[in-house]
Structure 1
Amino acid sequence: MTKITSPTRTQRKAQATRTAIIEHAESLILEGGATALTLEIVAERADVAVQTIYNRVGGRSALLMAVAEKAFEENRAYMDAAYRTPGTPLERLQVAANGYFRFAMERPTAFRLLADPPNDPEALLRVSELVRHQNGKMEAAITDGIADGSIDPGVDAHLATTSLWAAANGILSLAWRADSAPIEAQMMERLWAQWMAIVIKGLYPKS
């Protein structure tokens, strides 16, 4: 049996420094966009040397990638759990939608980074991977519903998935968009519930 050893004090300190660097980079991106991210400013905010950023994370592109990866993992924790919930296809879609709403409300920074990712090829690629990963599960649920008759057979599973994902991001972005008046959490819940009711009704088979 392989013996599991606990991280040393030095290793824990190195990981804490890496985490702090990524969190400061994340905040900087939200404040001024990806163009505002420089290693010098992150180093100043994290109170470390620029070389430490290279040692713990890497260069600017690697830092952007690490920020996207952090958001990716936070989202996946919510959505994978939601899609593992048993139920009919429509029930699975509703649980997943509620999971996405909770993710956006409880992890707003991560949601914003995924809805408006840094303009960096590697970061954009990672976010695109997440979209394909989660949208594939949504498409599978819709396809299952079409197969068992609980969803209108006239629905195109792929197109429905893409449109629902885009609409969900648009609604949830109202909580932080610069051109939108702030919406309180309670109103966001009502707005989301109304949209979900419309979506579910639209997916039902036509009588």
Structure 2
Amino acid sequence: MTAKRVRARRGDGALLRDDLLRVAEELLIATGSEEGVTVRAVAQSAGVTAPSVYRHFADKEALVEAVCLRVWTELTERMCATAEDSTDPFDRLSRAARVYLGFALEHPVQYRTLITRRATGPEAAAAISECLQHFVDTVSACVDAGFLRGDPLVLTASLWSAVHGCASLLIAQPRSHWPADTEAVIDQTVRMAVFGSALSSRLAVTPAAEELAAGLDELTGRWP
């Protein structure tokens, strides 16, 4: 049985809120679904009463959304941090994609919850927008540098689709279906998404296979 929590002192409300969010995220991970995150379960695990939870969160939806807000914020912070020491926009884009994939694999349940649910509150919606804006800004820098061509929003959506697809499959499908070296899969996906975007954004039409192969051989011959 969970021990009853000592009544919070004045000014300790923020600490209790953090505890509730931590417990809610632990329940999310343990149960594998937001269905397992109920106000009653969170209160019991935190050693408080349900009314104590309701003082901070209007309902279960608000509680789960607050958990998602924390996760989106952490992902954004990681992507920004990894780009701080690089001035090359292409390098920053590749780093952001790898951080995104790594984060998803580290936090599979949280990632699945983030992607499959629609944000209803303004704070969570703003956190999602901030995370995606980091991608858009990095892609825009690549366009400005001449590495990519086209609408940054369209390019970002395509790149996001590629890394999300890789993350979702690695999370959902048994590892027996994948090579033992997962990092090699991630590296190949990022290279295909980023370099592929650079190539496709320059092609007005899709060339025939033989013509494309010859052109690529000539191009890659410059970097043995």
Normalised by the length of structure 2, the TM-score is 0.69
Alignment match, 1:62: 62
Shift of residue 163, structure 1, vs aligned partner: 1.2
Q: Which range moved further: 28-37 or 94-103?
A: 28-37
SS of the aligned residue for 1:48 comes to: coil
2-structure distance, mates of 1:17, 1:75: 23
Alignment match, 1:25: 24
Describe how 1:62-101 pairs up with structure 2 within 5 A.
62-101=62-101
Deviations 1:90-141 (A, max 9, x none): 1221222232233234444543333333x55227634542444233223323
How big is the alpha-carbon RMSD for the aligned residues of Structure 1 and Structure 2?
3.2
Gaps spanning 5+ residues in structure 2: where? Answer: 1-7, 204-218, 220-224
Aligned length: 191
- Whether 2:165 is the aligned partner of 1:170: answer yes
Q: Percent identity?
A: 23
Query: Residues 105 and 181 of structure 1: is their aligned pair in 2 closer, same or farther, counting only changes over 3 Å?
Result: closer
1-structure distance, mates of 2:70, 2:184: 29
Query: Residues 38 and 107 of structure 1: is their aligned pair in 2 closer, same or farther, counting only changes over 3 Å?
Result: closer
2-structure distance, mates of 1:76, 1:163: 19
SS of the aligned residue for 1:121 comes to: coil
- Select which of 166, 182, 193 maps to 2:175: 182
- Whether 2:197 is the aligned partner of 1:200: answer no
Deviations 1:67-100 (A, max 9, x none): 1211122111101123433322212212222322
Alignment match, 1:47: 47
Counterpart amino acid of 1:26?
E
Shift of residue 39, structure 1, vs aligned partner: 1.0
Normalised by the length of structure 1, the TM-score is 0.73
Asked if the contact 1:114/1:127 (under 8 Å) is kept, the reply is no
Deviations 1:139-182 (A, max 9, x none): 32332233xxx33x3x44321210111221121123322xx113
Alignment match, 2:138: 138
Counterpart amino acid of 2:33?
G
Query: Residues 23 and 185 of structure 1: is their aligned pair in 2 closer, same or farther, counting only changes over 3 Å?
Result: farther
User: Which is higher, the Rg of structure 1 or of structure 2?
Assistant: 2
Alignment match, 1:111: 111
Query: Residues 107 and 38 of structure 1: is their aligned pair in 2 closer, same or farther, counting only changes over 3 Å?
Result: closer
Counterpart amino acid of 1:188?
T
Asked if the contact 1:174/1:182 (under 8 Å) is kept, the reply is no
Counterpart amino acid of 1:81?
A
